[in-house]
Amino acid sequence: MSGFRLDNKVALVTGGASGIGQAIAICFAEHGAAIRIVDLNEKAAQETADRIKQLGGNATVHACDITDAAQTQSVFQDILALSPVNILVNSAGVAHVGRLENTSDGDFERIFRVNVLGTHHAMQEAVRAMMAQGGGVILNLASIAANAGLEDRYAYSMSKGAVRSMTLSVARDYLPHKIRCNSISPARVHTPFVDGFVKKNYPGKEAEAFAKLAALQPIGRMAQPCEVAMLALYLCSDEASFITGTDYPLDGGFFNLHG
């Protein structure tokens, strides 16, 4: 047992500039991986890369809009020119609050383009490279919204359900090429997005709103990004070499114990 080390491996993390993606990038670097941060926010991505370097790690930054197929292909080619990529983590994503009757086509398409099409573009480029090099690992960030009915999360739930299904398809289709593909379905995770959401939607009642959101998890709190990162580390390590085509709930008991 190597203690989930990623020495001599290269991990590409989309959405690695903040939140869960940032936590995964830092965690993987601390466990030996070289990191390629792919994010629309180049400044924030560089700040994450600088943190990794301060910890003694190796990280490069690659600005990219993953909804753009041509741009994604170009950026991945640049990354692959530096080194092979052993691990792809798809963490880039956006959220939306709304139900069927108040979700516009524009809202629906925006969520689909980032969360579904963006994941598709990144996996497509990674799979091609991994097939050529003889294997690799893909990990997608889904959500409990893929498996449970959440209030006011119509478009978001659609997108994460798609990510979960895409994970299963990729895992099945690329077994002969030694490519593993899994997903993690977190419940609410305390990220800067949550703080911004509470501040925007519950002005003057932030503490009350935060407590209510935390209490939705039966365990009584939100997850921390580092907790998602540790599960991601295991699933992308060689110790998880027998695991593929699986969605892992990380939800504080939400799915099985809620209500």
CB 23 within 8 A of CB 228: yes
CA dihedral 119, 218, 220, 18 (to 10 degrees): 0
Cite the beta strand spans of the chain per DSSP E: 10-14, 34-39, 58-63, 87-90, 136-141, 179-186, 247-250
CB 121 within 8 A of CB 72: yes
CA distance 32 to 86: 13
- How wide is the angle at C-alpha 239 spanned by C-alphas 23 and 17, nearest 5°? 15
Beta-strand relationship, 10-14 and 87-90? parallel
Which of 60-64, 73-77, 111-115, 216-220 has the least mean pLDDT?
216-220
pLDDT of the residue at 99:
93
Q: In terms of pLDDT, which residue wins out, 49 or 196? A: 49
Please report, for the chain, the start and end positions of each structural domain, with discontinuous segments joined by +: 10-187+225-245, 190-222
- Tokens representing residue 205 in the block: 């009642």
pLDDT of the residue at 225:
95
CA distances from 229 to 97, 127, 226, 239, 250 (A): 25, 22, 5, 16, 11
Which of 40-44, 116-120, 178-182, 207-211 has the least mean pLDDT?
207-211
Among all residues, which ones are annotated catalytic?
156
**What's the average model confidence in pLDDT over 10-33?**
97
pLDDT of the residue at 35:
98
Whole-number percent of the chain with pLDDT over 90: 80
Q: Can you name the CATH fold of 10-187+225-245?
A: Rossmann fold (3.40.50)
- How wide is the angle at C-alpha 53 spanned by C-alphas 235 and 181, nearest 5°? 20
For the stretch 169-227, pLDDT in tens is 999 999 999 999 999 999 999 988 888 878 887 889 889 988 988 988 899 999 999 99
pLDDT of 258 over the 90 cut: no
Please choose, from the candidates 192, 198, 193, the residue with its C-alpha nearest in 3D space to the C-alpha of residue 212: 198
pLDDT of 1 over the 80 cut: no
Q: In terms of pLDDT, which residue wins out, 140 or 218? A: 140
2 pLDDT tier (thresholds 50, 70, 90) = low
pLDDT of 259 over the 80 cut: no
Q: What number of other Cβ atoms are within 10 A of residue 193's Cβ?
A: 15
Whole-number percent of the chain with pLDDT over 70: 98
For the stretch 78-107, pLDDT in tens is 999 999 999 999 999 998 888 999 999 999
pLDDT of 132 over the 70 cut: yes
Which of 30-39, 93-102, 122-131 has the least mean pLDDT?
93-102
DSSP string for 67-103: T-HHHHHHHHHHHHHH----EEEE-------B-GGG-
